[in-house]
Structure 1
Amino acid sequence: MKIALIPEKASMRKWNIHSSRQQTMNISITSILLGLGGKCLLSWLLVFLQRKHICRSFMGVFSVSLSAVDTAVSLLFTTIHIHGDGHLMLLDLRLTRYHICLLVQILGQIYSALQWPVVIAAALDQFCTISLQPLPSRAKWIVHSFVTVLLWLLTALYVFLLSDFVPVLEDVSHHLLQQCWVFHTAQILQVITLLFLTLGCVALHAVCSTRLLEKPPVKEQITDHSRTHSRRSVACQVLCIFLNTWAPLLIFLAVLLLLPLGIPSYLGLNVAWLCFLNSFLMAVISCVVCPASQLARSVAAVPADSLCEWRFNFSLAAES
């Protein structure tokens, strides 16, 4: 792994690794520690609130693992910072504040690389839970734990062996080092963009279905009319439930997407964000699966969500 050293102060303007510098922000070590500490507290609070069913889904198991990693990293960084004079030893390696800057960049890269695999794995888990015969609780927990460990290992190997990641450190004495260069996360903005496009498609589908249903159906079109009515009903209910719960966060994400603000990569992956993604994936998959598989019932339910109650009412008269 190559390391780019940034010259100190005045000579910093002559630094020729321009592309790397554009993707980084300079944050004090104290702010990094406070940010990680606050992230840990929020993560464990959300895990506690979902304790009754946290291990029944992949996203829940991964949230617990993420909280544990954040806690371990925060304790390690705090210990290194307290012993910033270099007297702290670990496996014959003298740890200094340089290692905080190096490790926080590596951690941020791993978190950024995990964004899309976690979304895909959680979507597959939700799809299988809703549309297929569910596994026993113990078997499901084993599968979720195995996938979680595998994702962590494969992502770490990717960052160290296959990615073009180059850590950036200041060329100053570790006694004088007070700030770290931290990379932005671009993956979360990609997920936000896809999220808003999906919500737009759902809203457009609901509007188009409404106009279609205004036309009186002929006898040959009764079945298609009933299916369209049911899908429109689910789409509208999903949109209302999701927006009622997450509207403030959606507004914040829209502002984040429009303004040129950077998100530190070590904060991009957190349990609050995972809870939001979990609700979003439940909404999308419910729109796709429930009308096709559960129209025979008057009520269809999807897996438990501590923040959204995903229950839909179907009109059986519309389907007869």
Structure 2
Amino acid sequence: MYVSIPSILVGLGGKCLLNWTLVFLQRKHICKTLLGVFCVSLSIVDSTLAVCVTTVHFHADGYVFLLGSKLTRYHVCLLVQIVGQVYSTLQWPVVVSAGLGHLCTVTLRLQSTTARARWLVCLLVTAFLWFLAALYVLLLSDYTPIMEDVPHHQIHQCFVLHTSQILQVAMLLLLTLGCAALHAGCSTRLFKNPLKDQVTHQSRAHARRSVVHQAVHVYLNTWALFLVFLAALFLAPVEIPAYLGLNAAWLCFLNSLLIAVVLCVVHPASQLDQGLAAVPPDSFCEWRFRFSSAAEEKT
């Protein structure tokens, strides 16, 4: 689809404002998770792209010289297309990497490691993901830029790709969350009249159901409106430009959703009962769990 350059500027400006606002709100632990470090890198890339597009678009001659190279509106449109393609390529690798990081944090209690070590690992993984995505788009994929056959000073709109990965990722993770909740509920109902050797299994099933119920409840209390917004996007024939698809709000939503999925799949009731050290940091959801005593569970 074709989008005018002023519309691209408005979209990038709003996205940059949103990105840096959320980075500021999460400043206390922004560097403790992969998604936090990636959010900072995304804000830097978006700001650089917005400055380049703005400089060329508002320059009187329609071009500027950067490091000895002539940068015109052709290059601006090409840059927007390439960055959008890189963003689309990054969706699934970021989700998988962040999910594995949360899984290791919950199961191995990696929050006991030093903050500097966590930050360094997240920084290296973030740089590696950006490098692989750029390498794939520029050298390995069959991506071909689409440009208007007009002089650069007459270019007033750019062709941009739309992204569908957002809805794919959200649907898959929400289905996983729902299946984990259904499995926890069904496994508890299997123990109607337990024998003595089944009491331990019943208590574990109750603890698992408690973790799943509380995790889903906390998640929905925070992100219910955003889920409604995603449902509206899914039902309405609205195309999201690729350069807007990857943003800080989406990464914050993913962080909470991945935490909920990991807690529902792993259900570390014994660790959570001792404290919150096993839960990855989240600026939006307050992951607090309450567990009843063994006597209360049996009654």
Q: What interval of TM-score do these two structures reach, taking the shorter chain for normalisation?
A: over 0.9
Which moves more between the two structures, 269-278 or 303-312? Answer: 303-312
Q: Distance in 2 between matches of 1:201 and 1:80?
A: 50
Q: Distance in 2 between matches of 1:237 and 1:62?
A: 28
Whether the aligned pair in 1 keeps the contact of 2:107 and 2:268 (CA below 8 Å) is no
Whether the aligned pair in 1 keeps the contact of 2:35 and 2:255 (CA below 8 Å) is yes
Instruction: Select which of 214, 222, 233 maps to 1:256.
Output: 233
Whether the aligned pair in 2 keeps the contact of 1:58 and 1:148 (CA below 8 Å) is yes
Map 1:1-320; keep pairs closer than 5 Å: 25-83=1-59, 85-134=61-110, 135-209=113-187, 211-212=189-190, 215-291=192-268, 294=271, 297=274, 302-317=279-294
3-state SS of paired residue (2:150): coil
Q: Distance in 1 between matches of 2:22 and 2:60?
A: 32
Aligned residue type for 2:44: A
Q: Distance in 2 between matches of 1:278 and 1:205?
A: 23
3-state SS of paired residue (2:154): coil
Cα shift readout 1:67-116 (whole Å, capped 9, x = no counterpart): 11111111111001112624411233222211121110000000001111
3-state SS of paired residue (1:53): coil
Q: Distance in 2 between matches of 1:254 and 1:199?
A: 16
Whether the aligned pair in 2 keeps the contact of 1:129 and 1:303 (CA below 8 Å) is yes
Whether the aligned pair in 2 keeps the contact of 1:300 and 1:311 (CA below 8 Å) is no
**TM-score normalised to the size of structure 1?**
0.86
Cα shift readout 1:208-261 (whole Å, capped 9, x = no counterpart): 246445x23222221111111111111110111000000011111122223332
Which moves more between the two structures, 180-189 or 72-81? Answer: 180-189
Question: Cα RMSD over matched residues?
Answer: 2.0
Aligned residue type for 1:263: I
Task: Could you tell me which runs of 5 or more consecutive residues in structure 2 were left unpaired when the two chains were aligned.
Answer: none
Whether the aligned pair in 2 keeps the contact of 1:300 and 1:313 (CA below 8 Å) is no
Which moves more between the two structures, 287-296 or 164-173? Answer: 287-296
Q: Distance in 2 between matches of 1:298 and 1:272?
A: 28
Whether the aligned pair in 1 keeps the contact of 2:56 and 2:63 (CA below 8 Å) is no
3-state SS of paired residue (1:276): helix
Whether the aligned pair in 2 keeps the contact of 1:87 and 1:94 (CA below 8 Å) is yes
Q: Distance in 1 between matches of 2:167 and 2:273?
A: 39
Q: Distance in 2 between matches of 1:221 and 1:84?
A: 79
Whether the aligned pair in 2 keeps the contact of 1:290 and 1:300 (CA below 8 Å) is no
3-state SS of paired residue (2:240): coil
Which moves more between the two structures, 46-55 or 282-291? Answer: 282-291
Measured at CA, do residues 223 and 84 of structure 1 come closer, stay the same or move farther in structure 2, by a change above 3 Å? farther
Aligned residue pairs, count: 295
Task: Could you tell me which runs of 5 or more consecutive residues in structure 1 were left unpaired when the two chains were aligned.
Answer: 1-24
Q: Distance in 2 between matches of 1:235 and 1:59?
A: 23
Whether the aligned pair in 2 keeps the contact of 1:185 and 1:262 (CA below 8 Å) is yes
Whether the aligned pair in 2 keeps the contact of 1:299 and 1:313 (CA below 8 Å) is no
Whether the aligned pair in 2 keeps the contact of 1:47 and 1:64 (CA below 8 Å) is yes
